């Protein structure tokens, strides 16, 4: 099973988006006076969404819903929203991991997805991100950050070091096809029970109807991993897509 559009769907989506285009994300290239003020998705909206995800997983898995992994942290807005939603629900067994190089998009991003990305887009330093989370009264000691490019950090050594064995929610916001595919290949062997996977930029820049970006990465992943059953669930905004994955016959 995959989520590729057929030719008629692609044509109809192109026509629809000429009238109602998918909202763009502001590109943050270089230093910004107050990067914490940039909310690509309203934090309260994300907090509500994560609350619904947690409750959904609790019905299936009980209180041990699994860990939260975020790929593409930027200023910590979504990570902070998940953290606050968890605390309000008194979730005690979930760990929080943020994977990012904190240098914006990598240089080779310019050679994929029809060149819509540029090196340094969405740049936010590790120090600034920490400041943003502290403003929201988030205890940084509760969060583990894995600082570095994915081709250097997403490996067996990291899996073993972090003792990743129960995934709950995976938030993929690293934009490009190659980074998204690297993330999916990293988490694939770790999926033993139900997990919610979110793609923040599925429709951004119309990459889905161009069959690129996160759309391409996830569909390839499903084609290559027939052991998984997937079901789309309600997302938090128009440009994103979310799914619940589990092993077939489980």
Domain annotation covers residue 98: yes
pTM comes to 0.96
Check residues 37 and 51 and name the one with the higher pLDDT: 51
CATH number of the domain that residue 223 is part of: 3.40.50.150
Query: Which residues on neighbouring strands pair with residue 233, listed in sequence order?
Result: 242
| pLDDT at residue 249, rounded to an integer | 74
Domain assignment present for 230: yes
Residue 144 lies in a domain: yes
- Which residues, in sequence order, are CB contacts of 111 under 8 Å at separation 6+? none
Q: How many domains does the chain have?
A: 1
Whether the pLDDT of residue 86 is over 90: the answer is yes
- Indicate whether 2 belongs to any domain: no
More confident residue, 219 or 32: 219
**Domain span at 200:** 7-247
Q: Give the tens place of pLDDT for each residue, 63-79.
A: 999 999 999 999 999 99
Burial 36-61 (b: 16+ CB within 10 A, else e): bebebbeeeebbebbbebbebbeeee
What's the whole-number mean pLDDT along residues 101-108?
92
Where residue 31 falls among pLDDT bands split at 50, 70, 90?
A: low
Q: Classify residue 197: in a domain, yes or no.
A: yes
| Whole-number percent of the chain with pLDDT over 70 | 97
Q: pLDDT by residue (tens digit) across 159-189? A: 999 999 999 999 999 999 999 999 999 999 9
Kindly state the average pLDDT of the residues 36-42: 86
Query: Buried (b) or exposed (e) across 159-172, using 16+ Cβ within 10 A?
Result: eeeeebebbbbbbb
Asked whether residue 1 is assigned to any structural domain, the reply reads no
Determine the pLDDT at residue 29: 59
Whether residue 54 lies inside any domain: the answer is yes
Residue 77 covered by a domain: yes
Instruction: Give me the residues paired with residue 71 across strands.
Output: 99, 172
Q: What is the DSSP string of 123-192?
A: ---HHHHHHHHHHTT--GGGEEEEES-HHHHSSHHHHHHHT---EEEEEE---SHHHHHHHHHHHGGG--
């Amino acid at each position: 099973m995959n989520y590729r559009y057929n030719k008629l769907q692609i044509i109809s989506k192109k026509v629809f988006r000429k009238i109602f285009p998918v909202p763009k994300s502001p590109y943050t290239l270089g230093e910004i006076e107050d990067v914490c003020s940039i909310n690509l998705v309203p934090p309260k909206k994300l907090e509500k969404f994560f609350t619904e995800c947690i409750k959904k997983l609790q019905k299936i898995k009980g209180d041990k819903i699994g860990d939260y992994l975020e790929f593409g942290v930027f200023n910590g807005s979504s990570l902070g929203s998940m953290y606050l939603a968890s605390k309000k629900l008194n979730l005690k067994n979930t760990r929080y991991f943020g994977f990012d190089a904190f240098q914006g998009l990598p240089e080779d991003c310019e050679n994929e997805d029809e060149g819509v990305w540029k090196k340094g887009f969405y740049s936010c330093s590790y120090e600034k991100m920490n400041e943003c989370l502290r403003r929201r009264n988030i205890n940084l000691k509760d969060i583990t950050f894995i600082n570095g490019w994915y081709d250097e950090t997403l490996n067996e050594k990291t899996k073993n070091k972090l003792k990743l064995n129960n995934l709950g929610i995976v938030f993929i916001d690293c934009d490009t096809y190659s980074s998204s595919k690297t993330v999916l290949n990293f988490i694939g062997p770790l999926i033993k029970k139900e997990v919610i996977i979110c793609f923040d930029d599925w429709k951004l820049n119309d990459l889905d109807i161009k069959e690129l970006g996160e759309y391409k990465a996830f569909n390839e992943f499903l084609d290559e991993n027939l052991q998984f059953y997937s079901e789309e669930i309600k997302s938090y905004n128009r440009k994103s897509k979310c799914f619940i994955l589990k092993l077939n016959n489980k």
